[in-house]
Amino acid sequence: MFAQITLFILGLTTLVIGAEGLVRGASRLAMSWGVSPLVIGLTVVAFGTSAPEVAVSVGAAMNGNPDLAIGNVVGSNIANILLILGVSALIVPLTVSEQIIRQEIPVLIGVSALLVALAADGSISRNEAGLLLTLVVLYTGFLIIQARRGSAASQAEAEHELPEAARWDASPVVQILLVLGGLGLLVLGAHWLVNAATEVARAFGVSDLVIGLTIVAIGTSMPEIATSIMAALRGERDIAVGNVVGSNLFNILGCLGAAGLVSPSGLPVPQAAIDVDLWVMLAVAFACLPVFITGREIARWEGAVFLGYYVAYTVYLILHAGRSESLGGFNTAMLMFVIPLTVLTLGVSLWRHRRALPRG
């Protein structure tokens, strides 16, 4: 147990150092290339911080453990929005770009709904996995074309913001090294955390699906957690939000696409995931719309709601795994009180936002 605690502390320290390097390098790289920080967050940062999810899901599929592959991706997507955005917004309210509201969130909802539809028959075939990988290539290409169209304005803004005096991180070579070094440390730190937590959980008899949905999902999301929190603290809020949304898109399209292709007969989907977890993932994606639209920011109280729901979801998984007698009462409380109250609160916020809009 002492060895696992030591490994956990080392992993956490490595994550913090890696996140600092990645955010600094990515933000400077965006300025140097004349690309908006949002696009960097949606692509370079998001895909890089999703590397642990790819490694875990592909490795689990190749080792004949599809439950862990599915649980890792679905659990990571739920954690990315509820846990990461919740914690980040509690630290500092996050401004949401208009592009995220009108483009990326609808795409995320569509991709999440596609995964629910593909998994409904109990598996993701190799052809369906190929479709997912094709979509991630098309999406990335579209973002690159879109970024190049707006590069002139971004370059002018970057030149205006950069100080005249040379900075130690002003060189593109240094910036690329910071990004690559930061990503490497993030992956290493997440690997140590996952190994430590998984060994302890298996010793207590926790199932692979629950481990994938909770410990592995949070562990492989640690790069996103560290990066988004560090970006929020440094004022790079586009990177903080873009990292989460981009990671969720890549997790579904890239991670499950790759895992489905390397699996000899496709990727079986556990019935528990079909019945509950995939729908929770889709609902969480939908929940972003009213939160993001009202005031175009994630306020602290909305971050607290996200975080509260993640705690509730984790409690549900623990109670369900242990077949606790308290599960029925917990479900009733969520369905009868907590969820309706949240929907009402968000509805009132959306109504007040629409009333505040200027009438044309």
- Can you say whether the dihedral through the CA atoms of 113, 115, 120, 126 is positive or negative? positive
Question: Could you tell me whether strands 123-124 and 267-268 are parallel, antiparallel, or unpaired per DSSP bridges?
Answer: antiparallel
Angle at which helices 300-321 and 66-79 cross, to 10°: 150
Composition of the chain by helix, strand, coil, percent to 5: 85, 5, 15
Residues whose CB is less than 8 angstroms from the CB of residue 53 and which lie 6 or more positions away in sequence, other chains included: 72, 73, 76, 220, 221, 247, 251, 255
Q: In angstroms, rounded to a whole number, what is the distance separating the alpha carbons of residues 212 and 281? A: 14
E runs forming strands in the chain: 94-95, 123-124, 267-268, 297-298
Place of tokens 């060895």: 3
The per-residue pLDDT for range 267-293, each reduced to its tens digit, is: 898 888 888 889 888 888 888 877 777
Q: Where are the domains of the chain?
A: 41-152+207-356
List the chain residues with pLDDT less than 70: 1, 12, 15-16, 19, 30-31, 33-35, 148-170, 190, 193-194, 197-198, 200-202, 204-209, 211-213, 216-217, 220, 294-295, 321-360
Q: Tell me the one-letter amino acid at 46.
A: A
What is residue 120's predicted lDDT score, i.e. its pLDDT? 92
The pTM of this model reads 0.76
How wide is the angle at C-alpha 206 spanned by C-alphas 203 and 211, nearest 5°? 110
Whole-number pLDDT of residue 161: 45
Q: How far is CA 110 from CA 136, 146, 203, 206, 245, in A?
A: 13, 20, 38, 32, 13
pLDDT of the residue at 163: 46
What is the rounded CA–CA span in Å between residue 289 and residue 282? 12
Question: Measured between alpha carbons, how far is residue 327 from residues 82, 208, 272, 309, 316 in Å?
Answer: 21, 20, 15, 16, 7
| Distance of alpha carbon 252 from alpha carbon 248, whole angstroms | 6
The pLDDT, as a whole number, for residue 182 is 80
Q: Using CB atoms within 10 A of its CB, is residue 353 exposed (0-12), middle (13-18) or buried (19+)?
A: middle
Dihedral (CA of 10, 15, 17, 18) sign? positive
Return all residues near 331 (Cβ < 8 A) that are at least 6 apart: 316
Distance CA 60, CA 66 (A): 6
Q: Is the dihedral of CA 303, 304, 305, 310 positive or negative?
A: positive
CA of 90: how far to CAs of 16, 46, 81, 111, 342, in Å?
Answer: 18, 21, 13, 28, 17
Considering the domain delimited by 41-152+207-356, tell me its CATH architecture.
Up-down Bundle (1.20)
Given a contact cutoff of 8 angstroms between Cβ atoms, the answer to whether 253 and 143 are in contact is: no
